[in-house]
Structure 1
Amino acid sequence: MARPRKEGMDYFPHDTDAVNDTKIEALRMLYGNDGYAFYFILLELIYRQPNFELDVSDAETLQILAKKVEVSPEKFSNMMQTAIKRECFDPVAYHERGVLTSEGVKKRSKVVVDKREKMRKKSSNGAENELLPDSCIVSDAETREESTQSKSKSKRKVKEKINKIHYAEFVTLSREEYDKLISSHGEEKTNRMIEILNNYKGSNGKKYKSDYLAILNWVVKRVEEEEQRGERRQSEPFSREQTTANQYNANGSYHSNSNGKPVTNTGYASGARVQPQASGSDKAPSKYNEFVRR
């Protein structure tokens, strides 16, 4: 059964300095954070479209979008006019066809679309080679005089391509490489590594000669850092509870001494009995006290 054809994008690059972009800054200065939300909500919807263009030609769609941005239709219309005027979106496409897009959107999406098409062609060629009869593969080996070293290298490359499996849209591994990752890191951690590499390659158009080596070189460390951050967050509540318990003192039942050990009113400190003192200097110690001293 063929894999469903992917349309649109699940993620897109977001510049960390976007808040200072002059186009976006105009929306923020005029409409506050609503202007910022307006721009990026529409941008997300544009990237999810098959042709990376959002149709806003009818009034009903504009009302729905205003609800999504959580502003009034009047304010949404004003923000739209400002965005078109400042060329946050392509003015020509908006006025002539009633769609929202931009040159930057088209440029970034083209990288992803071209990458997908190339991967599909590779998969298709690999499937065709797998259907060849065994006699076609053996024939070159039988005619050694006609075979050259370059041909044998070419056969090995074809075999390697056939053995690669798509574990994500942009990540390919051989079965042996995937099993090694499972053996070293476990299935859950391996799948997280594949997810991180897939997102990175999809958003940047990055290519690696070996996705397996890329995972070993930097993705493993990224996942380990995530796990360490998670462990620190889990340990913090326990530390606070422990500190509170040491400082607890209810109705004089016990308190902490200078060493942080609880002392009770019965004269115990960390399990050791405190020596009772005589009530007066003229009294002789009782037999009980002498027994305790011994």
Structure 2
Amino acid sequence: MARPTKKGLDYFPLDVDFLSDLKIRRIIKACGKEAVHILVALLANIYRDEGYYVLWGDDLAFLVADEVGTKEGTVEELVRKAVQVKFFDKDIFDKYSVLTSKGIQNRYILATKERKKVELEFKYLLTNEVNRSNISINGRNNSVNQENNQQRKVKESKGNKSKVKESSKESSDVRLSFYAFEKLWLFPNEYQRQDLDFLITEYSDELVVASIKIAGTKDIPKGKAINFITAVLKEWALSGVKTIEQAREYQLKRNQTNKQPYKKQPTRAENLPSWYDKEQPVGDEKEIQLDADLEARFEAYQARKAAKDEDNDTSTT
């Protein structure tokens, strides 16, 4: 029988300024001095078992309370506060009832650099430090495949004609986000393609396209594109944005808020891309075209690239 792959750590690092961290001080202020013991116990459970996350529930609340010698309600109150101050990631906690953070994941990846194999769950992943030969990411396409399977069952129940029509529309929709990405940053690499697939499934293709167009109005490099797009989509989701019309309305309000000067320093208003114009048609994938600002960005990129290539040719002759 093959030996099971070790996941957790035998020990974990604790920063020397742990108690000086603003998040920790806020937790202690709200939950009392025993908050430190509870936090250390939670971290120990995270690093000991899976190594970079732990499932939150009544059992963990009981175990930590028993280890520290306090009440389960105290542990639950601390976890709520820790999520509120972003000691643990709020999005992952709300969606999966999981305690983790980018810092925890970075420390785990650093601690396991000598292992032959490290497996990470894509849906819990917050860190970008995964470009290592011994790291494999599970479930990168699972959510996409699961969604497609569910859609396939619905389509089959409506008959073959409906199935073919919807399937054709889905493949056309997916190409829109990829086309928008390619026009701005050229072809996405393998990881970026998989990430785009995931975002399309989570948020819808038209919202992904809209977030890409917002990136087109800013100087976002290709290496940071997915992070920027994801941040925009998460902000919309937390604000209840589900349609392109709601996204347009949200961004207009956001822009108006940014135009209001602060007391100390004014904030520069965002430049709205042309898709915010309500008279512009949205929704017909055959008629949608990239905005002029996106085209201009791509043309500027091509011009810079051509100039660079010309300089390289001159230097070698």
The TM tier, using the shorter chain, reads 0.3 to 0.5
- Give TM-score, length-normalised by structure 2: 0.34
Q: Indicate the structure (1 or 2) with the bigger Cα radius of gyration.
A: 1
Q: What is the TM-score normalised by the length of structure 1? A: 0.37
